[in-house]
């Protein structure tokens, strides 16, 4: 009787540990599969970047050799020196930085205030206004280029910072992000501040905005990156070399004929370099910001 019982317990224990082992095996397989997929996706993204970097250090004739070869037979910085010598690249960097920073500051300021008002205030036409703003997300920016160009041309603002900055400030998606973020903040904080004697402006500036740091970080990063990389509008709004931003200016360095692979890749690297540096410096805040707002 007792032997039987012991055997029974042992069998149960074995079966439990067997289940655990098979569960562990499934977990391990799942983890490995996920890692494999992540590595494959990372390669898909990284290979073109590595290829651009690799090509930018080659002489032009080496870039079209068949079979395609990663090895650099003659390391040269000639593509970079062409970019620097044949252009006003320092000026373009400054222009991009000015436009990027001002657009980012204005976007965060305007969108957060709009988001706060939509989240906390009640006013006539609020719903309609919100729907109109949301509809703005659906309109492709390209559709607005010609009317915008006409508008700025009419006020003689082409080739000015105003033309480069103002059309890039209204960002419906940023208003949406801020509104959603403020919706998630306890309304009692604002109410406590209002009873404490604060105006709406003080509630926004001293309570709501400091608590919306993740949203501010995410919107700032994405606005800056988008503005830095934006090509079409600056291409239309800045025809004068001295007003060009990096993506537009570097495009003018590349001649229309001949082999220009190395030059094109060097230009791409130079254009992306400041963003990579910004990312490396603010990696933690960027990741937190993206995680905090669910943006990607």
Partner 1 sequence: MAEMSLKGLCKRFDDGTLAVDDLSLEIGDGELMILVGPSGCGKTTALRMIAGLEEISEGELWIDGEMVNYLPPKSRDMAMVFQNYALYPHMTVRQNMSFGLEQAKIDKAEISRKVDEAAGILDLTEHLDRRPGQLSGGQRQRVAMGRAIVRDPKAFLMDEPLSNLDAKLRTQMRTELARIQNQLGTTTVYVTHDQIEAMTLGDRVAVMRGGVLQQVASPRDLYERPSNLFVAGFMGSPAINLFRARVERETLSSPLGEIPLDRRLRDALGQAGHAETVVVGLRPEHLMDAAITEPPHEGAVAFSHDVGVLEAMGAEYYAYFDLPDQPGMDVADTAHDPDADPAGQRQGKQLIARLPIDSEVREHKPIELWFDPGRLHVFHPESGERLSDVASEPHGR
CB of 203 to partner 1, least distance (A): 10
CB of 193 to partner 1, least distance (A): 7
Identity of the residue, 153 or 191, whose beta carbon is nearer to partner 1 in the bound complex: 191
Identity of the residue, 36 or 210, whose beta carbon is nearer to partner 1 in the bound complex: 210
**CA 116/CA 111 separation, integer angstroms:** 8
Identity of the residue, 51 or 201, whose beta carbon is nearer to partner 1 in the bound complex: 201
**CA 210/CA 193 separation, integer angstroms:** 14
Identity of the residue, 161 or 200, whose beta carbon is nearer to partner 1 in the bound complex: 200
Identity of the residue, 24 or 196, whose beta carbon is nearer to partner 1 in the bound complex: 196
Which parts of this chain interact with partner 1 (CB under 8 A)?
A: 186, 188-189, 191-199, 202, 206-207, 210-211
Identity of the residue, 189 or 287, whose beta carbon is nearer to partner 1 in the bound complex: 189
CB of 108 to partner 1, least distance (A): 17
**CA 152/CA 170 separation, integer angstroms:** 16
The token pair at 238 is 């800045």
DSSP state for residue 125 in the 8-state scheme: T
Identity of the residue, 180 or 194, whose beta carbon is nearer to partner 1 in the bound complex: 194
Chain mean position to CA 221: 6
CB of 275 to partner 1, least distance (A): 30
Angle (nearest 5°) at CA 235 between 141 and 270:
105
DSSP state for residue 204 in the 8-state scheme: I
Q: Which of 221, 260, 11 is nearest to 104 (CA)?
A: 221
Q: Which of 168, 175, 166 is nearest to 132 (CA)?
A: 175
The token pair at 209 is 């905005």
Residue position matching structure tokens 């000026």: 91
* Cis ω for the linkage preceding 141 (within 30 of 0): no
**CA 165/CA 268 separation, integer angstroms:** 23
Identity of the residue, 136 or 292, whose beta carbon is nearer to partner 1 in the bound complex: 292
3-state secondary structure of 176: helix
CB of 127 to partner 1, least distance (A): 12
Q: How many Å from the N-terminal Cα to the C-terminal Cα in the chain?
A: 65
Whole-angstrom CA distances from 258 to 56, 172, 187, 230 are 16, 43, 63, 26
CB of 209 to partner 1, least distance (A): 10
CB of 161 to partner 1, least distance (A): 34
DSSP state for residue 206 in the 8-state scheme: I
3-state secondary structure of 68: coil
CB of 131 to partner 1, least distance (A): 18
């Amino acid at each position: 009787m007792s032997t039987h019982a012991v055997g029974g317990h042992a069998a149960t224990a074995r079966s439990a540990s067997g289940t655990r082992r098979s569960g562990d095996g499934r977990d391990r397989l799942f983890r490995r599969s996920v890692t494999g997929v992540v590595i494959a996706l990372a390669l898909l993204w990284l290979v073109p970047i590595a290829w651009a970097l690799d090509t930018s250090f080659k002489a032009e004739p080496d870039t079209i050799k068949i079979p395609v070869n990663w090895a650099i037979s003659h390391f040269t910085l000639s593509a970079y020196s062409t970019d620097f010598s044949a252009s006003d690249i320092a000026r373009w960097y400054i222009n991009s930085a000015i436009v990027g920073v001002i657009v980012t500051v204005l976007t965060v300021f305007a969108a957060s205030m709009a988001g706060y008002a939509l989240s906390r205030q009640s006013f006539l036409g609020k719903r309609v206004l919100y729907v109109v703003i949301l509809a703005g997300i659906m309109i492709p920016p390209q559709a607005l280029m010609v009317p915008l160009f006409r508008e700025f041309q009419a006020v003689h603002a082409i080739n000015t910072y105003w033309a480069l900055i103002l059309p890039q400030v209204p960002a419906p998606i940023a208003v949406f992000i801020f509104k959603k973020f403020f919706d998630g903040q306890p309304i009692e904080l604002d109410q406590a501040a209002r009873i404490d004697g604060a105006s709406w402006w003080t509630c926004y500036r001293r309570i709501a905005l400091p608590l919306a740091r993740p949203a501010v970080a995410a919107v700032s990063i994405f606005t800056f990156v988008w503005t830095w990389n934006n090509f079409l509008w600056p291409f239309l709004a800045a025809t004068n070399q001295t007003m060009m931003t990096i993506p537009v200016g570097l495009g003018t360095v590349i001649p229309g004929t001949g082999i220009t692979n190395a030059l094109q890749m060097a230009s791409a690297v130079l254009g992306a370099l400041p963003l990579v540096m910004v990312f490396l410096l603010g990696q933690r805040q960027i990741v937190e910001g993206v995680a905090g707002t669910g943006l990607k």
